[in-house]
């Protein structure tokens, strides 16, 4: 059977494998890479340029909409990848990819639900926080949850690719 023959079953399997791996890498790069870059660079640069945590926060308010959408899409791609590699992984890696995916998915739901609650505490027109104490508490929860999700994402990616050489 010729691998490049578009009618061959093996050729279709190889192409689907390549598509899945590409989408996995692209989704993880966009979501976790974007989160890492935004957290490590953009927030700090934005504060220096804008001179205000609140002004930077109004930008972050919109960026997190995209991060949440990217996360939801990435989690679907990660689930597809997890299902595809499941049999090729040992029990420890299976546990790791399953557990980290569940952690990320649960936190993603939390972040999506928490975001509008935090939004309602901001007045973008007058550029002010309506309830500093409540905003601070919820924002800390959001940041801690997103950080745990990010760490779980790194472990998930490691576990997904580690089986290829372990």
pLDDT for res 78: 97
pLDDT for res 81: 95
Query: Crossing angle of helices 9-28/132-162, nearest 10°?
Result: 150
Which residue bears the tokens 């939390």?
110
pLDDT for res 124: 79
pLDDT for res 1: 46
Taking only the tens of pLDDT, the chain with its 166 residues reads 455 555 567 777 788 889 999 999 999 999 999 999 988 998 888 888 888 777 777 888 888 999 999 999 999 999 999 999 999 898 999 999 999 999 999 999 999 999 999 999 988 788 888 898 998 899 999 999 999 999 999 999 999 998 665 5
Long-range CB contact pairs, 140-148, < 8 A, 24+? 141/114, 142/111, 142/114, 142/115, 142/118, 145/107, 145/110, 145/111, 145/114, 146/35, 146/107, 146/111, 148/103, 148/107
pTM: 0.85
What is the 3-state composition of the chain as percent helix, strand, coil, each rounded to the nearest 5? 85, 0, 15
């Amino acid at each position: 059977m010729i691998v490049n023959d578009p009618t061959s079953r093996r050729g279709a399997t190889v192409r689907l494998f390549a598509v899945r791996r590409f989408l996995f890498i692209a989704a993880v790069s966009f979501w976790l890479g974007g989160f890492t870059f935004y957290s490590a660079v953009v927030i700090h640069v934005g504060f220096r340029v804008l001179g205000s945590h609140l002004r930077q926060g109004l930008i972050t308010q919109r960026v997190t909409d995209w991060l949440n959408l990217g996360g939801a899409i990435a989690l679907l791609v990660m689930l597809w990848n997890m299902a595809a590699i499941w049999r090729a992984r040992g029990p420890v890696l299976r546990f790791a990819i399953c557990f980290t995916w569940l952690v990320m998915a649960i936190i993603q739901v939390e972040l999506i639900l928490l975001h509008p609650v935090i939004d309602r505490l901001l007045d973008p027109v007058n550029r002010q926080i309506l309830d500093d104490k409540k905003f601070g508490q919820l924002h800390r929860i959001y940041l801690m949850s997103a950080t745990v999700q990010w760490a779980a994402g790194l472990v998930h990616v490691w576990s997904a690719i580690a089986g290829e050489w372990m």
